[in-house]
A and B are shown apart, each in its own frame.
Chain A
Amino acid sequence: MAEATANGLGQHALHATHAEQAAATAVARPEVHQEHPIKLYLVVWAWLFILSTCSYLVDYFGIHGYLRWSLILIFMMLKAGLIVAVFMHMAWERLAMMYAIILPPILVLVFVTMMVFEADYTLLTRIAHFGPGP
């Protein structure tokens, strides 16, 4: 992976061998390219297949209750993590980028909590007015 920075000319002087090439890159194209071995993608691809099969088998074997929900969530988070980290190259981005993109969706969990209370309240009101389900 080519090292390139936005304004690192002073730093590049330290790496005398790469200075010329890196400085040229820094002027023309400060961004880092995401180049990784093909094998990495194939391994992740295989894992996504395995995890999808596992989550399908949860339904196929009719697992129920808390075991079902926790298995579904575990497989879901593993798959999502692999896709974001490797396929979308988030694992190699700077922390400023990771936080800017990944933290806001996590805050949606606050919204989820609010709506859980709201939904419970709605259900109670419905049962109180219309009686338990048909």
Chain B
Amino acid sequence: MTETTVTHTGQPDRPKGWRGITADWASDQRAFKNVSWGKAMMWIFLLSDTFIFGCFLLSYMTARMSTRVPWPNPSEVFALRIGGSDIPLILIAIMTFVLISSSGTMAMAVNFGYRHDRRKTAILMLLTAALGATFVGMQAFEWTKLITEGVRPWGNPWGAAQFGSCFFMITGFHGTHVTIGVIFLVIVARKVWRGDFDTGRPGFFTSRKGRYENVEIMGLYWHFVDLVWVFIFAFFYLW
């Protein structure tokens, strides 16, 4: 990574003006010099996903700022009664730790992947998937609890009616991302376990050979899911 690769600096007679714009964009230059297309496209997908979650959090902010009715106190709403006393937000805290742990195991899976340690990579990915599934399970528990307490997208017993719609929309979309991540983790873990990336076996969907970089690209998605939760935890649960 010590050198900058600018592909066409040696050519002084490149066209100028509009012709130059089309020529430059149509030529064989690549913007991301040392990043594979697979990884670059995952990053760009994650960027677009950032905007989706950004808009959700923005609309939540707008709803919360513009209502005359007091917002329900998340610290009390998400409290759990353990051993006779209400512990505020404890389930959400545990979910946060579970997701962070899954991010840690994923990062190590990527590392072992590049060392071609199939066994450790697959085990760590499956562990990541298990932690992700645990997270979704706890989220299902949380939804059930709130629904039985009377939270609906159009109202709730404690305050501003928009609380329910924001909650179900934001956490639901995030939970969907986690679920999709778990499914793909299992698929990639199976490929690693079987040695697809060593033998060059074509993928069932793309018919192209995979590489151990696929583990890192999968990891990018998974870390993003964790990243989004950091923001949801701060803005929705703690604010």
A→B interface (CB under 8 Å): 1, 3-8, 11, 30-36, 38, 41-42, 44-45, 48-49, 52, 55-56, 58-60, 62, 68-69, 72-73, 75-76, 79-80, 83-84, 86-89, 92-94, 96-97, 100-101, 104-105, 108, 111-112, 115-116, 118-120, 122-123, 126-127, 130, 132-134
Contact = CB atoms under 8 A, between A and B. Distances in A.
Contacts of B66: 118-120, 122-123, 126
Interface in B192-234: 213, 216, 219-220, 223-224, 226-227, 230-231, 233-234
B213 A38 contact: no
A75 B61 CA distance: 19
A-B complex: 9 closest residue pairs judged by Cβ atoms = A119-B65, A122-B66, A45-B104, A133-B68, A76-B234, A119-B66, A31-B36, A56-B93, A41-B107
Interface of B: 1-3, 5, 7, 30-36, 39-40, 43-44, 46-47, 50-51, 54, 58, 61-62, 65-70, 75, 88-89, 93, 96-97, 100-101, 103-104, 106-108, 110-111, 114-115, 213, 216, 219-220, 223-224, 226-227, 230-231, 233-234, 237-239
B34 A115 contact: no
Contact of B54 (A42, A45, A108, A116): A108
B234 A73 contact: yes
Contacts of B104: 41-42, 44-45, 48
A44 B40 CA distance: 24
25 contacts: A5-B5, A8-B5, A31-B39, A34-B110, A34-B216, A36-B111, A48-B103, A48-B104, A52-B96, A59-B75, A76-B230, A76-B234, A80-B227, A83-B103, A96-B32, A100-B31, A101-B46, A104-B51, A105-B51, A105-B54, A108-B54, A115-B62, A119-B62, A119-B66, A126-B66
Contacts of B88: 59-60
Contact of A56 (B2, B47, B89): B89
Given A6-B5, A79-B230, A83-B226, A119 B61 contact: yes
Contacts of B54: 105, 108, 111
User: Quick one: which of A1, A56, A130, A134 has the most chain B CB within 10 A?
Assistant: A56
Contacts of B100: 45, 48-49, 52
Nearest to B32: A97
A101 B31 CA distance: 12
**Chief secondary structure at chain A's binding surface:** helix
Contacts of B233: 52, 55, 76
A42 B67 CA distance: 44
B58 A112 contact: yes
A38 B108 contact: yes
A37 to B, nearest CB: 8
A94 B3 CA distance: 10
A59 B33 contact: no
B238 A101 contact: no
B72 to A, nearest CB: 14
A112 B106 CA distance: 32
Nearest to A75: B234
B65 A123 contact: yes
Contacts of A120: 65-66
